Amino acid sequence: MNALDELIEQIEDTTLRERIREEVKRSNKQKKFGLVFEEHLPECTPLYDVPIKRGCKASPKGRTISDIYTVLKVNDGKALCVKKDSEPEEFDINDLVCVAEFGEPIYPYLNPIDAVCNAPDSDLWHTLIEADNYHALQLLEYLYAGKVDCIYIDPPYNTGARDWKYNNDYVDSSDQYRHSKWLSMMKKRLILAKKLLNPKDSVLIVTIDEKEYLHLGCLLEELFPDASIQMISVAISRGGVARLNQFSRVDEYIFFVEFGNCSPQKMSLPDEWRRNPDDKQALGIKWYSLLRMGNHADRTPNCKVFYPIFVSKDGETFMGAGDPLSFSDSIESVKTPEGTVAIFPIKSNGDDGVWSLTRENLLEYQKKGYIRLGKFKKNGMSISYLTKSDIEKIENGTYKIDGYRQDGSIISNSQYTEFVPATQWKIASHDASEYGSTLLSHILSGKRFAFPKSIYAVHDTIRFFVTNKPNALIVDFFAGSGTTLHAVNLLNAEDGGNRRCILVTNNEVSEAEAKTLTEQGYKPGDEEWEKLGIARYVTWERTRCSIEGHDVNGRPLKGTYLGKDIPMSDGFKANAAFFKLGFLDKNDVALGRQFRELLPVLWLKAGAIGKCPVIEDDDSISDMMILPENKFAVLTNEKQYIEFVERMDECPEIDVAYIVTDSESGYRDMISGLNTKENYQLYRDYLDNFRINTSRR
């Protein structure tokens, strides 16, 4: 293309040159090879919080959301509306809902719905957001661009099933463009998801079945050309899921899209994870020579690791260590305590070497049993020590201490295996029937959701990438029944991690329930309709009950988590907040009238630390909010800046400050007097971010 661009530049006729350049651009957008599909732009979202006004777009409740009218005028509770190429119609404004079409700027906020707090002393708060996930992703981009460690999604498989439209019926099965529309839907969301992920070290995990895995694979290759992509197959059903006139499906697929330095970590896994169970490499504690080998193994001036180690003359007991010798000191100058022998780091060829540990570290290790004495040899004695990786396994319980030798070193007969498995997983605990559907039915006291994932399948899949990240941020924007958050809580309970999870799901009802509700006169947006939606009826109920350790009727959950000494009735030491995504008027935001509504957004942007602060409707907005328990502060009245700085100096734990001001230069001056790590100008930072959505097409 560079050669073509150069030739175009040689065209003297300006008008002709620009026309040809535009035609070339248009031609380049037409894909000739690989994945070809229509963009299918129309996607709409109901804005239940936005009032019906003249000039807004609206859709009649009960119809498809894409049935869009423009409101011509509003008078006495009635709205005169017109649709393209149609005559004007009149509606009761209570029968209409405002609509945002794809690409239009939206200004989201979070309306608190509920919360569960089972760890009041913990700063860790998970989040469930009830929303169309495209707009939720726009909000998350504003909050956490480049900060997410792991995205796990189980998108609709597009099989045409109708148990939940959310799960499997994005387009009608008879639609000849069903694959194209599915790909268009996925592409829009994956483009935003990429902006959330840490480009230096993160992973996108996508599960799929045979209906769309080929298309999805091509789409991932197209959107993430610089990532490392691998697909594995996993058995999820022992009995198989019936396919009409086809083979029963017993497995599905998982795509791993790894960015930067990300890669699956070696794990200690049972034998069923092995491709060949007979191919075992049992590992146990390994003692390494204290005499350093390889680079930097010679004694040098200013060396701090050339010192004597004193052992009893029979070689059985550690008796201490002397100070490091200067380069000019000889080993003969050292005074050896009575009844001991001085051991120096002398190489087999007689040259002076060095120890691998400083004297201070050696003494600390020896007290804990991490130093072992060997046998006397020509140049002294072989002395061994444990590396940090084995010490961690001892201290976290992976290795059991069975006793101590006379020299004080630990005895452990524990063994484990650490490896990355192959690309075919046939793990009993990944069965979606027993550890997905049955487990969920026990929590929800009945079947409320079809085909939930096994909690252990999600747990294991995520664990390969966050086991070494105890503070990972994990996002699932096709949350379904909420298995991902449940699995993250289980992982945290196992290893003491502080990983945070954000779930996003819509609140659609099942087809059967929608029919019944419609017959009863209810419409989407009505409380009777909303309380049976997936977010409130399934996802949140599972989250709340699993954290508190009981079912929806308050009965303690029975049993323990498989292979873990964790009773389900204990719940989890975790907290979670439930919000519904709403939309604000940009003019009201600019005038500062929506601070109360935006406070949860500011809380999330500051890291969701501590319980989300709330301003009640009858509370006035103060000049400033200093929230050390949430580690952020807000200055709403810039005239109070001096007092704000004084109070901030008293709270060094605050990391984030929000300054409400219209002056860019004033904002810069004010933040220069703060010691916070991150600062934001309100409401410009917020409005500018979402205004650019008009270009996202």
Domain boundaries, position 666: 611-695
Residue 165, pLDDT score: 44
The answer to whether 528 touches 522, Cβ cutoff 8 Å, is yes
In terms of domains, do 205 and 310 share one? no
In a domain, 178, yes or no: yes
Phi, psi of 238 (to 5 degrees): -70, -45
pLDDT tens profile 106-147:
889 999 999 999 999 999 999 999 998 888 999 999 999 999
Per the domain annotation, does 600 fall within a domain?
Answer: no
585 within domain boundaries: no
b vs e for 651-690, b when ≥16 Cβ sit within 10 Å of the residue's Cβ? eeebbbbbbbbeeeeebeebeeebebeebbbbbbebbebb
Residue 92 and residue 1 share a domain: no
Q: How many domains does the chain have?
A: 5
**Is the predicted pLDDT of residue 33 greater than 80, yes or no?**
no
Lowest mean pLDDT among 114-118, 177-181, 425-429: 177-181
First to last CA, the chain: 24
Q: What is the pLDDT of residues 212-248, one digit of tens each?
A: 899 999 999 999 999 999 999 999 988 787 777 888 8
* Boundary (domain end) residue, out of 388, 416, 444: 416
635 and 535 in a single domain? The answer is no
Please name the helix (run of DSSP H) or strand (run of DSSP E) that holds residue 527, with its range, or none: helix 527-530
> What is the 8-class DSSP label of residue 536?
I
328 and 457 share one domain: no
Average pLDDT over residues 418-445: 93
Neighbours of 579 (CB within 10 A): 22
- Give the residue, 15 or 239, on which the prediction is more confident: 15
Please state, for a pLDDT cut of 90, what percent of the chain lies above it: 60
Pick the more confident residue, 592 or 282.
592
* Structure tokens given for 403: 């006793």
Q: Are the C-beta atoms of 125 and 500 separated by less than 8 Å?
A: yes
Kindly report the backbone phi and psi dihedral angles of residue 555, in degrees, each rounded to the nearest multiple of 5, phi listed first: -80, 135
Same domain flag for 406 and 432: no
CB 366 within 8 A of CB 290: no
**Would you state the pLDDT for residue 257?**
98
The whole-chain average pLDDT of the chain stands at 88
Write the pLDDT tens digit of every residue in 324-379.
999 889 999 999 999 999 999 999 888 999 999 999 999 999 999 999 999 998 88
Asked whether 66 and 59 are in contact (CB, 8 A), the reply is yes
Number of Cβ atoms within 10 Å of the Cβ of 356: 19
How high is the pLDDT of residue 418? Answer: 78
Residue among 606, 656, 602, 664 at smallest CA distance from 108: 602
Tell me: do 124 and 269 sit in the same domain.
yes
362 in the same domain as 318: yes
In eight-state DSSP terms, residue 247 is P
**Sheet of strand 340-343: strand arrangement:** 318-321, 309-312, 340-343
Same domain, yes or no, for 329 and 410? Answer: yes
Same domain assignment for residues 564 and 425: yes
> Is 283 part of a structural domain of the chain?
no
Q: Do 344 and 459 lie in a common domain?
A: no
Q: Binning pLDDT at 50, 70 and 90, where does residue 37 land?
A: low
- Inter-axis angle of helices 595-605 and 133-144, to 10 degrees? 70
For residues 120 and 91, membership in a common domain is answered with: no
pLDDT band at 521 (very low <50, low <70, confident <90, very high): confident
Locus of tokens 């309380």: 531
Instruction: Report the pLDDT value the prediction gives residue 162, as an integer from 0 to 100.
Output: 43
The answer on pLDDT for 515 being more than 50 is: yes
Which ranges constitute the DSSP H helices of 210-323? 213-223
Please indicate, yes or no, whether residues 441 and 404 belong to a single structural domain of this protein: no
What whole-number distance in Å separates Cα of residue 183 and Cα of residue 345? 65
The angle, 0 to 180 degrees and rounded to 10, between the axes of the packed helices 133-144 and 178-196 is 20
Higher pLDDT, 251 or 526: 251
**Single-letter residue type at 531:** K
pLDDT of 446-481, one tens digit each? 888 888 999 999 999 999 999 999 999 999 999 999
pLDDT at 161: 47
Answer yes or no: is 596 within a domain: no
Q: Which of 579, 577, 561 is nearest to 569 (CA)?
A: 561
Q: What pTM value is reported for the model?
A: 0.74
Give the tens place of pLDDT for each residue, 371-399: 999 999 888 999 999 998 889 889 988 78
**What CATH number corresponds to the domain at position 195?**
3.40.50.150
DSSP secondary structure of 615-633: --TTSPPPSEEEETTTTEE
Contact 344, 316 (CB under 8 A): no
**pLDDT value at residue 177:** 58
pLDDT tens, position by position, 241-275? 777 788 888 999 999 999 999 999 988 888 788 77
Residue that is last in its domain, among 370, 401, 416: 416
- The string of pLDDT tens digits covering residues 636-678 is 999 999 999 999 999 999 999 999 999 999 999 999 999 999 9
* Alpha carbon distance 189, 183 (integer Å): 10
Percent of the chain at pLDDT > 70 equals 91
